[in-house]
Amino acid sequence: MICCPTCDMTSTATTDEAMVQPMAQSVARLAQMTFTINRLVAEDVFNESLNKLKKLLSQMTHKDINLDKELMNESLISRLRSRRCSVTFVPICETQHFQMCCFALRTNRCRIPLHNHPQMFGLIKVIYGCVSVDNYTALPVDGKYILPNDVSKRVERWQRDFLVPVIYNGKTTIDSQSKEVCVLTPNQRNYHEVVAIDGPAVILDILGPPYREDRECHYYKVVTTVYDHRLQRDITWLLELEDPPEDYRCDSLPYMGPNIYFD
Ligand SMILES: [Fe+2]
C-alpha cells in the first residue's frame, strides 16, 4: 500500500534525502502498528508501542519530510499569504488507523485555537521554530458539577449544554531542538491550544485513530476558572464554539516528502 503517491523519490531524492527517508517511513509504520493494536484488549502492548513511537518521533526533524522552505521563514510571500491564512496544513499520510500531518503556524503568535480530538490519541512534535502548548483534561462526564454562578452569568442559557469542566494542566514551551513530544490521550490533556513563539513554527501531528464524521474536533473558548470547594481545586469552564474562531484560517500545501509505504 502506498500512502503518499504524490512524489517520486527515485527521480528527485538527493543523497541526504535518501538517507532520511527511512525516518518518515519508520515513524509512519510504527504509528500504523501502534494504532492497529486494540488497547482495550492489550493495553500493555499498546502502551509499549506508543512509547516506542514517542521515542522515534522525538528524533524527527523538518528535513525528514522535505518541508517546504516557504513554511519556515517570514518572506514577503509568506507574510502576504499568512494575512489570509494563519495556518497551513500539510497532509502526510492517512490510513484507517492513524493520520500524520503538519501544521505550519505562519507568523509569530499564529495559533491553532483551543480544540479537542475526541476518542483519539495525539502526538505533537515541533519540527521547526518554537511553540507553547496549553492543555486541559476534561473531568468525567458523570461528575456532579454544580454550575457556578460565576460561569452561568457569563453564558447564554442555551449555551449551558455546551460547557465542559476541565483541569488546566499548564503551558509547555517546546522548540524544534527539544526531543519533547506532547502526548494527549482520549482522557488526558485532550483539549489543547498551540501558539507560535518568536516567529513561524511547524508541528507534526500523529492522530490515532484518524478523524471521522463521529470524531471531528471541536473548538472551545475559556469562560472562566472557579475554585471548586468540593474538589478543592480550580475548575476551568470551556464553552464549545459553533464555528472555528474567526482568526483561524487554514489553507493547505501538498506533502512533498519521501513516499511512505506499508506492507
Ligand atoms: Fe490538535
Q: What spacing in Å lies between the alpha carbon of 192 and ligand 1's midpoint? A: 6
Q: Indicate which CATH number applies to the domain containing 88.
A: 2.60.120.10
Q: What spacing in Å lies between the alpha carbon of 12 and ligand 1's midpoint? A: 32
Identify the sign of the CA torsion 198, 201, 206, 209.
positive
Residue numbers of the domain that contains 80: 9-134+178-215+245-252
Total-model pTM = 0.86
Domain presence at residue 143:
no
Q: What spacing in Å lies between the alpha carbon of 220 and ligand 1's midpoint? A: 12
Let me know: does 165 contact 143? Beta carbons within 8 Å: yes
More confident residue, 69 or 233: 233
- The DSSP-derived string for 157-220 is GGGGGGEEEEEEEEEEEEETT---EEEE-SSSS-EEEEEEEEEEEEEEEEEESPP-GGG---BE
Q: What spacing in Å lies between the alpha carbon of 117 and ligand 1's midpoint? A: 6
Q: What spacing in Å lies between the alpha carbon of 16 and ligand 1's midpoint? A: 30
Domain presence at residue 204:
yes
Q: What spacing in Å lies between the alpha carbon of 129 and ligand 1's midpoint? A: 17
Identify the sign of the CA torsion 36, 39, 41, 43.
positive
How many domains does the structure of the chain reveal?
Answer: 1
Q: What spacing in Å lies between the alpha carbon of 49 and ligand 1's midpoint? A: 21
Domain presence at residue 221:
no
Q: What spacing in Å lies between the alpha carbon of 107 and ligand 1's midpoint? A: 18
Q: Which DSSP state fits 122?
A: E
Domain presence at residue 88:
yes
The C-alpha cell that represents 260 in the structure block? 511512505
Sorted by sequence, the CB contacts under 8 Å of residue 253 that are 6+ apart come out as 68, 71, 88, 89, 90
Residue 12, pLDDT above cutoff 60: no
Report pLDDT for 73. Answer: 76
Give the C-alpha separation, 35 to 32, whole Å. Answer: 5
Q: What spacing in Å lies between the alpha carbon of 9 and ligand 1's midpoint? A: 30
Query: Which helix (H) or strand (E) is 252 found in, with range?
Result: strand 250-252
- Per-residue pLDDT tens digits for 43-88: 999 999 999 999 999 999 999 998 888 888 766 666 666 566 689 9
Domain presence at residue 117:
yes
- Per-residue pLDDT tens digits for 111-150: 999 999 999 999 999 999 999 999 999 998 766 678 899 9
Domain presence at residue 21:
yes
Domain presence at residue 34:
yes
Domain presence at residue 119:
yes
- Backbone dihedral angles phi then psi of residue 85, each to the nearest 5 degrees: -135, 120
Q: What spacing in Å lies between the alpha carbon of 8 and ligand 1's midpoint? A: 30
Confidence of residue 4 (pLDDT cuts 50, 70, 90): very low
